[in-house]
Amino acid sequence: MPATFDHVALRVTDLDAAISFYRDLLELEFVSRSETGSQSVFKVGTELLVLFSRESNESVPEGTVFGTDHVAFCLEGDHYERVLGRLRDDELVLRGPTVNKGARGDGLATYFRYPDDNEMEIKTDDVALIEAEKRMSNDN
């Protein structure tokens, strides 16, 4: 399987207004809102659109950069491991690997900045890699 998008994440200043826009105007399928109220998720085909705002759900301070938060690519397990190795070699990893939810359910995600300082994510839904990360996290 070739690499595919898993989700696109956008920063917004008013999460309630953004939810209304995507749900009511564009009629996207609303999936969830985080317990903290700082994130909401919509289904777009088989992928996800994720909206982020501040944890307090207040407007983001003036001067904060808006727009795309990050782009996530879904890779097969061996492809994920090869890319992760190169990211580690080049010291580009910001955080991860970590297990989180994505368009296809649980996934193993790693975040990095590259190029032009854009945040990106690689993700795999390889069950063996996800379970290995869960075991390692439980051991720590």
pLDDT at position 14 over 90: no
Distance CA(33)–CA(42), nearest Å, equals 9
Closest by alpha carbon to 103, among 33, 28, 39, 46? 46
Distance CA(83)–CA(45), nearest Å, equals 26
Distance CA(44)–CA(55), nearest Å, equals 24
Each residue's pLDDT tens digit, 46-89: 889 999 886 544 555 566 666 677 888 888 999 999 999 989 99
SS3 40: strand
What pLDDT was estimated at residue 56? 47
What pLDDT was estimated at residue 13? 79
- Residue 61: is the preceding peptide bond cis (ω within 30°)? no
Rg of the chain taking only CA atoms, in angstroms: 16
What pLDDT was estimated at residue 29? 93
Each residue's pLDDT tens digit, 82-137: 999 989 998 989 999 999 988 888 999 999 887 557 788 999 999 999 999 999 98
99: part of which helix (H) or strand (E)? strand 93-102
What pLDDT was estimated at residue 116? 59
The full set of domain ranges for the chain reads 4-139
CATH 3.40.190.10 is held by the domain 4-139? no
